[in-house]
A and B are shown apart, each in its own frame.
Chain A
Amino acid sequence: MGTMSIDELVGRQNRDGGWPYIRGASWTEPTVYAVLALWAAGETEYARRGLRWIVRNGRTDGGWPAQPGIDQSTWVTALVALLPPEQLGQEAHGRAIAWLLGMTGEESTLTYRMREWLLGNSRLAEREPAGWPWVPGTAAWVGPTSLAILALEREHSRRPRAEVRRRVEEGRGFLIQRMCHDGGWNHGSVRALGYESRPYPETTGQALAALRGVRSAEVEKGLTVARRFLAECRSAEALNWLRLGLLAHQELPAGYCAPAGVTNRTLPDGSLDMLVSAVQAGSDLFWS
């Protein structure tokens, strides 16, 4: 794999302390992954600058925007909540967790379900387990739900709370319901107009990471699909998530190395590669 070095990651830090996806202005997602990767590597000085950038850009509602200047908190709040509270700050971290707990896909809200019931489209009692949306006011999908579960699971391991446990379990229920017919996950559309949809490697890895510790026939099907993807896939982003998903279930082949020629295309790809390699080496970055 075309790995990214710590020096390269440091060299691409913007003056404001954040990181871009590839080049340009700083975004929340690449900055969180870079901070996590640098912290894991012991490069605390650059990580602290990144943390200060993240803290500066938190919004008053407790969430984070994808980029400063965007006036809406979104899915990236789950990534920020993955940062340890002692790094992010207890208050900011607590507010990020509260934002996540208060967020569901719009289809799970009482207002939406009432409207659907009044239109005769559903029974009021019918309710799919709640997942998380990319942006508030829209439906829940596999990607943001997986990230929110990872953040809340980590929070629960620090400070067990029934509310956090309930949302994690419900989110996992959402993932199980959104599994493709033959196993694995795509963005979250199992079928459209009666046609079965196919799974993707990256979202299969994300969902499996979020389903860590779950034993079920669905998870087994997902793992079978993930192993197949791992052998075929040539995308760094997808391989990073597949590795993490398989590691979560102790199913990554021992000594696994990504095939030659796979290139980290973006800074998050490079940072995530470092993080997953650390997990592969025994770190519990994502789980504790």
Chain B
Amino acid sequence: MQKTITRRELLAAAAGAAALSACNVQKPVAPARVSVVRAASYDQSVYGTVRRLLDEHRVEVTGRNVVLKPNLVEFEPESSINTNPLVVHAALEALRARGAASVRIAEGPGHRRNTLDLAEAAGYFKTVPHFEDLFVDLNLDDVSRVNPPRQFSRMKKLYLPNTALGADLLVSMPKMKTHHWVGATLSMKNLFGVVPGGVYGWPKNMLHWAGIEESIADLHALFPRQFAIVDGIVGMQGNGPIQGVPKKVGVLVAGADPVAVDATCCRIMRIDPMRIGYLRLASEEAEAYISERNIQQTGESIASVETPFDLIPEFQSIRLENS
């Protein structure tokens, strides 16, 4: 039987080859700090855990405008598809306590237009007092034109919501999930939600035509003031980011460098971050902030929390054991 090579396999092979060719690159970089903390369930203890995470990273927000960007995808409150509202509320309270001038919650789902209805179904109205007053639908927010500074993708210009562009700190708060096009969706892929559907539609198909991995890297470069808190208490494995099944991991992962945070999450999921195309693109140097030696990890060791996520057949090659 003739074996044909899929585009995904070709990308994985290219990433692997690039990883091999980069093995000798030893340029030192200042380590990025990433915290991995246990959080067994969505209960009141999450508030203290998130507060301690921000303390540990000395997140300075006094007098600043902060935007929390959760991942809201579908009307399935019982599934693990959306970032849990308790984690988002915990971050909101902790950032307020640290002196933020304003903390808003903002999201622009990729498929569903009725964002507030989706947020209500996901439990945000119940969990976050005055949610509607705090929330900005990034799909419908006023926009400004920006030019991606690195131009990884074919996008020469992009219109982005003023709420996200004007934030002094953008806190990406994704769910820890597998993704059927790019392997894993974490804090960097979560930035697809800042691209306005009001301009580009539902889905934001322009990003796919411009190159998914490259668009993720472009968006990452457009938001230099970020912090990431990944909801890995219960993630999604298998055919994520929509049709996968819940996977309990019991962790929150946080840090100021999204590349390092996402690489750490991959290792927890037993995915090789070197084989995630957008991580490699976004990394300044061949291995910077993907390599473990450039990540100053605190809290739990990866070995103590690692939880292999089921991967669809097309992505078996990105499993750490297969690398």
Query: A residues bordering B, Cβ < 8 Å?
Result: 21-22, 24-25, 27, 29, 66-67, 69-70, 74-75, 106, 133-135, 137-139, 141, 143-144, 186-187, 189, 192-193, 195, 197, 200, 202, 234-238, 265-266, 269
Say how far B203's CB is from chain A's closest CB, in angstroms.
Answer: 6
CB within 8 Å of A: which B90-146 residues: 111-117, 137, 140-143, 145
B contact residues, total (Cβ < 8 Å): 29
User: Are A67 and B198 neighbours in the complex by a CB distance under 8 Å?
Assistant: yes
B42 at the interface (CB under 8 A from A): no
List residues of chain B with CB within 8 A of the CB of A24.
141-142
CB within 8 Å of A: which B169-216 residues: 180, 198-203, 205-206, 208-209
User: Are B180 and A193 neighbours in the complex by a CB distance under 8 Å?
Assistant: yes
Say how far B318's CB is from chain A's closest CB, in angstroms.
Answer: 15
Known: A195-B239, A235-B114. A70 touches B199 (CB 8 A): yes
Tell me the complex Cα distance, A66–B159, Å. Answer: 11
Tell me the complex Cα distance, A24–B202, Å. Answer: 21
List residues of chain A with CB within 8 A of the CB of B137.
21-22, 266
List residues of chain B with CB within 8 A of the CB of A266.
137, 140
Which of B111, B198, B208 has the most CB atoms of chain A within a 10 A radius of its CB?
B198
List residues of chain A with CB within 8 A of the CB of B41.
none
Partner of A192, one of B115, B180, B199: B180
List residues of chain B with CB within 8 A of the CB of A187.
111, 202-203
Known: A67-B199, A235-B117. A193 touches B209 (CB 8 A): no
Tell me the complex Cα distance, A183–B158, Å. Answer: 36
Known: A22-B137, A192-B180. A237 touches B205 (CB 8 A): no
User: Are B113 and A21 neighbours in the complex by a CB distance under 8 Å?
Assistant: no
User: Are B113 and A237 neighbours in the complex by a CB distance under 8 Å?
Assistant: yes
Quick one: closest B residue to A144, CB to CB? B201
Tell me the complex Cα distance, A67–B144, Å. Answer: 11
Quick one: closest B residue to A140, CB to CB? B205
Tell me the complex Cα distance, A22–B208, Å. Answer: 28
List residues of chain B with CB within 8 A of the CB of A238.
114, 117
List residues of chain B with CB within 8 A of the CB of A29.
198
Quick one: closest A residue to B313, CB to CB? A193
Tell me the complex Cα distance, A197–B206, Å. Answer: 21
What are 30 A-B pairs with beta-carbon distances under 8 A? Answer: A24-B141, A24-B142, A27-B198, A29-B198, A66-B198, A67-B199, A74-B199, A133-B205, A134-B200, A134-B202, A135-B199, A135-B201, A135-B206, A138-B208, A138-B209, A139-B205, A139-B209, A144-B201, A189-B203, A192-B180, A192-B239, A193-B180, A193-B239, A235-B114, A235-B117, A236-B114, A237-B113, A265-B114, A265-B116, A266-B137
Quick one: closest B residue to A75, CB to CB? B201
Known: A70-B143, A134-B201, A135-B201. A106 touches B114 (CB 8 A): no
Quick one: closest A residue to B132, CB to CB? A265
B222 at the interface (CB under 8 A from A): no
Say how far B316's CB is from chain A's closest CB, in angstroms.
Answer: 13
List residues of chain B with CB within 8 A of the CB of A197.
243
Partner of B159, one of A25, A70, A189, A192: A70
Tell me the complex Cα distance, A143–B202, Å. Answer: 8
B302 at the interface (CB under 8 A from A): no
User: Are B140 and A143 neighbours in the complex by a CB distance under 8 Å?
Assistant: no
Tell me the complex Cα distance, A139–B206, Å. Answer: 8
Partner of A200, one of B112, B205, B314: B112
Partner of A193, one of B114, B116, B314: B314
Tell me the complex Cα distance, A235–B117, Å. Answer: 6
User: Are B201 and A237 neighbours in the complex by a CB distance under 8 Å?
Assistant: no
List residues of chain B with CB within 8 A of the CB of A143.
201-202
Tell me the complex Cα distance, A133–B209, Å. Answer: 12
Known: A24-B141, A67-B143, A192-B180. A237 touches B114 (CB 8 A): yes
Tell me the complex Cα distance, A200–B111, Å. Answer: 9
B312 at the interface (CB under 8 A from A): yes
User: Are B143 and A21 neighbours in the complex by a CB distance under 8 Å?
Assistant: no
Interface string of B269-281 (1 = CB under 8 A from A): 0000000000000
List residues of chain B with CB within 8 A of the CB of A134.
200-202, 205-206
List residues of chain A with CB within 8 A of the CB of B203.
141, 187, 189
Known: A25-B142, A67-B143, A186-B111. A137 touches B117 (CB 8 A): no
Tell me the complex Cα distance, A70–B142, Å. Answer: 11
User: Are A236 and B117 neighbours in the complex by a CB distance under 8 Å?
Assistant: yes
List residues of chain A with CB within 8 A of the CB of B114.
202, 235-238, 265, 269
Quick one: closest B residue to A25, CB to CB? B142
Partner of B205, one of A66, A138, A236: A138
Tell me the complex Cα distance, A244–B104, Å. Answer: 35
Say how far A209's CB is from chain B's closest CB, in angstroms.
Answer: 15
Tell me the complex Cα distance, A186–B143, Å. Answer: 27
Q: Besides the contacts A27-B140, A74-B199, A143-B201, what 16 more A-B pairs have beta carbons closer than 8 Å?
A: A21-B140, A67-B199, A70-B145, A74-B201, A106-B209, A138-B201, A186-B111, A187-B203, A193-B180, A193-B314, A195-B243, A202-B112, A202-B113, A202-B114, A238-B117, A265-B115
